[in-house]
Structures are given as structure tokens and as C-alpha cells.
């Protein structure tokens, strides 16, 4: 979907305040409320806007330890990938899971209460997942950047 400057202004505004009313959004981007609502509907239906949610603090919810986990499987047959992916979706501590190219098959971002909690996650969840042959864990010392998506300024540059 090609985005124009108004679409980008809508996305930029919503990334800053996803709870903004349609009236406020329309005023910010210079559209009538009905035109803004139509644009927003198009952005949602096309998948550019995937949803609206509250960004919660893992730290404030008692899970301050973030672990980056690289996992190797015994193979990459479709069945093995499907079985592993089904299992990883069941683990409530997995925040993100990516199928990777390169040395490891998957990269996970996991939230834990403390080291003992991560040991539990490692033992009862990660090690028990189907086809896992290697687990490499790295502990995040501090968060430097956390974006929910590609900045709309990048889309603006691409749009010309």
C-alpha cells in the first residue's frame, strides 16, 4: 500500500497517542472527521495498522529481567518448525519469537522475574520444547531503544 503524507501524519500521530479521538486526529492532520475516519479504516483494513494496545512495563509487572535466547533445532523440516512454534506460543514469558537465518534457528525475547525464574523457564519450557538441541541465553543489562514498529519518518523518506 502506498502511503501519502496524510497517511503518514495519521500514523505518526497515533504512534504518539493511540488513544487520541478521531476529532483530535482529524484536526491534527487537516481532514474532516469523516475523511479521517475513512483513511483510518483503510489503514486498518490494509494491515498497516495491526491493532491498538497498551504498552505495559515488564519491570513494573514484576518481570524486570529480559533474556535474549538463541535456539537451534535438530532440523528445519516443516513439521519440526510447526511443532516448535506451537510450543513456543504456549510459553507466557516469551515476548517475541523470530524464525532466523544464520547460526541459530530462532531468536526469542523472554521476560523473567529473576535468575531463578529464568532457570525455571529454561528447564520447564525451553528445554522441553520439541526438537531443541541448543539454547544460548544472553541477559540484557539495560534497554536502550524499544520501538513498536518502523518510524513513520522512514516511510516518509521512502514515499518521496
pLDDT score of 64 more than 80: yes
Q: Domain coordinates of the chain in residue numbers?
A: 5-54, 65-139
Q: Could you tell me the end-to-end alpha-carbon distance of the chain, in angstroms, rounded to an integer?
A: 14
CA atoms within 13 A on the CB side of 19: 3
Range 5-54 has CATH code 1.10.10.10: yes
pLDDT tens, 96-133? 999 999 999 999 999 999 999 999 999 999 999 999 99
- For the cut 90, the answer to whether the pLDDT of residue 88 exceeds it is yes
In this prediction, residue 53 carries a pLDDT of 87
CATH of span 65-139: 3.30.70.920
Amino acid at each position: 500500500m502506498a502511503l501519502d503524507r496524510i497517511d503518514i501524519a495519521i500514523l505518526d500521530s497515533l504512534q504518539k497517542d493511540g488513544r487520541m479521538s478521531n476529532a483530535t486526529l482529524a484536526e491534527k492532520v487537516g481532514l474532516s472527521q469523516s475523511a479521517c475516519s475513512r483513511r483510518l479504516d483503510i489503514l486498518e483494513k490494509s494491515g498497516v495498522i495491526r491493532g491498538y494496545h497498551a504498552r505495559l512495563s515488564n519491570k513494573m509487572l514484576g518481570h524486570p529481567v529480559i533474556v535474549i535466547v538463541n535456539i537451534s533445532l535438530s532440523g528445519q523440516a516443516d513439521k519440526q518448525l510447526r511443532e516448535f512454534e506451537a510450543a513456543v506460543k504456549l510459553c507466557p514469558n516469551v515476548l517475541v519469537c523470530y524464525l532466523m537465518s544464520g547460526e541459530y534457528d530462532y531468536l526469542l525475547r523472554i521476560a523473567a522475574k529473576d535468575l531463578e525464574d529464568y532457570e525455571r523457564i529454561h528447564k520447564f519450557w525451553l528445554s522441553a520444547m520439541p526438537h531443541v538441541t541448543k539454547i544460548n541465553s544472553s541477559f540484557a543489562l539495560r534497554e536502550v531503544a524499544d520501538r513498536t514498529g518502523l518510524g513513520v519518518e522512514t516511510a516518509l523518506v521512502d514515499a518521496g
